[in-house]
Amino acid sequence: MKIIMLGAPGAGKGTQAKLIADQYQIPHISTGDIFRANIKNGTELGKKAKSYMDQGLLVPDELVVDLVVDRVAQDDCVNGYVLDGFPRTIPQATALDEALIKKGTGIDYALNVDVPDENIIRRMSGRRACVNCGATYHIVHIPTKVEGICDRCGSELILRDDDKPETVQKRLNVYHEQTQPLIDYYSKAGILVSVDGTKDMMEVFADIEKILGE
């Protein structure tokens, strides 16, 4: 079962990817993890990626695809995998498809966790972080006992810049511009399935299980 996770930042696709990986005993793979593992192990692909990252440059699509294809060819992916955060663009998607076809394989599901922008902005702007210990809360879903004060260490909570509504909207705009076309791409390929990401986390997962087959 080879799955690509799609969804806007803050839609909860990373959480669902972990739940899928645990339930079906397949690896949850993010490009960040792949980069770190290859750089740590000093592989040729890792060295190439590091040379770009050290210059503050984006790692080229071809190299990212090589890293991903190398990762999904490993033994722990024999029963499938969940790709989280890749591909992000149409060129990455087409390059990945071409590389997988050469290996005689392909993606089974592109799973889109669908959440309207206004829900994401409300969800993310409700987050609060402790300035001292880094604990995270949510003013609605995970409130503190005392408003604005960390339960763990008693320090002040802040709204991080990343979670401010205007910042979240900018990230969503980039997502719609670059990544939204992937939804059309995988829809045309006949492997796109969408779930309503506004539901409770475990309700969303139950919907996913119905799609994947328990």
Question: What is the dihedral angle through the alpha carbons of 20, 23, 25, 30, rounded to the nearest 10 degrees?
Answer: 20
Give yes or no: 88 in active site. yes
Active-site position among 2, 13, 123, 128: 13
Active-site position among 48, 50, 160, 199: 160
SS3 sequence, the chain?
CEEEEECCCCCCHHHHHHHHHHHHCCCEEEHHHHHHHHHHCCCHHHHHHHHHHHCCCCCCHHHHHHHHHHHHCCHHHCCCEEEECCCCCHHHHHHHHHHHHHCCCCCCEEEEEECCHHHHHHHHHCEEEECCCCCEEECCCECCCCCCECCCCCCEEECCHHHCHHHHHHHHHHHHHHCHHHHHHHHHCCCEEEEECCCCHHHHHHHHHHHHCC
In contact, 182 and 194? CB cutoff 8 Å:
no
Active-site position among 71, 123, 127, 128: 127
Active-site position among 48, 122, 171, 199: 171
Active-site position among 88, 122, 164, 199: 88
Give yes or no: 13 in active site. yes
Q: Which residues are catalytic?
A: 13, 88, 127, 160, 171
